[in-house]
Structure 1
Amino acid sequence: MHVATYLLFQGNAEEALHFYQRVFRDTEITAIHHYPRDAGEMAGKLLPSRLRIGDHQLMLADSPNPHDFTFTPSTSIYINFENEEELIEAHDILCEDGDIMMPLDDYGFSEMFAWLNDKFGVSWQLNLP
């Protein structure tokens, strides 16, 4: 069995895919697919595609149907980092035009922790155990 996180965007999934590839050092786009040219408004938008972050698969796609829902911080992607430098680097990039819910700090349960929503509204918890 393999579990992946699936993120559904409204037209900017490819921008997010390349943004996340820039945020994390150990990443690889393992599949990228686009709607065909004859797909009307969806032409060129992202069909389900995959980005590996460490040992986790993140799936991203653009929704062909408009919807009223978006991302919520009640569900977040939690990452344990191996060193402070990588955590700070990821934190600083993810914070660009994002919202910080818990600033980078020592909260007792973790040597270094931050919780934020990135510019796409995706929630991230960054941890240095």
Structure 2
Amino acid sequence: MYQMTAEYLGGLRTTGTHLKSGNTVITDAPTDNNGRGEAYSPTDLVSAALCSCMMTIMGIVAARENIVFEGITATIEKIMTKEPPRKIAGIHIAFTLPDPQQLTPKQAEILKRAAHTCPVALSLHPDIVQEVSFNF
């Protein structure tokens, strides 16, 4: 059974639909690759997926360990190669908890280890540098 569908809309833009929820996402090629840069690029989605996956796995572990985890935020920076072929060279993610003092050092370590075990992190090519920092 299909989980998602996608359609090319023209003008270097696509739309994708998650069939179970009906949610959609639009992608647009970035301005440095002939696009308008008006939506996530496909490589932006890869970077965002890594961050979301890490947050989700940390959230699962936090719930299991009774760790207050709501309110975590992240910034994401995607680095593209400078030489062909064009591909993601690195993804830098910085996680921040609003009150870092809410975690014990042991809890912080548990969450950090959990983040690095997310399926997206484990699925990305090892040449993609995953630089992750935790402000907690």
TM-score, reference length from structure 2: 0.31
Structure whose CA Rg is larger: 2
TM-score, reference length from structure 1: 0.32
Higher relative contact order (CA 8 A, sep 6+): 1
Which structure has more strand as a fraction of its residues?
1
Which structure has more helix as a fraction of its residues?
2
